[in-house]
């Protein structure tokens, strides 16, 4: 009986370790995704700013 309980404990310990590692990797992946999303947002904002300036400047030049 002791051998069986030891094996069950070892099995649970092993799976608990795997689940913990999976959660850690998942958290890293989510952090990378958040960082990529933030960088993409910044790039879009920069492109929109450039587009806004290029649209406004010709209009100002034409009105002068």
SS (H, E, C) the chain: CHHHHHHHHHHHHHHHHHHHHHHHHHHHHHHHHHHHHHHHHHHHHHHHHHHHHHHHHHHHHHHC
pTM of the model: 0.57
28-58 burial code (b ≥16 CB/10 A, e <16): eeeeeeeeeeeeeeeeeeeeeeeeeeeeeee
Return d(Cα 24, Cα 31) in angstroms, integer. 11
Tens-place pLDDT, residues 3-20: 666 687 788 888 888 899
Tens-place pLDDT, residues 18-59: 899 999 999 999 999 999 999 999 999 998 888 876 666 555
């Amino acid at each position: 009986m002791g051998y069986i309980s030891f094996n069950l404990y070892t099995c649970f310990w092993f799976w608990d370790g795997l689940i913990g590692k999976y959660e850690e990797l998942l958290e890293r992946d989510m952090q990378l995704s958040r960082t990529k999303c933030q960088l993409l947002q910044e790039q879009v904002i920069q492109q929109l700013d450039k587009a806004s300036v290029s649209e406004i400047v010709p209009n100002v030049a034409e009105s002068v």
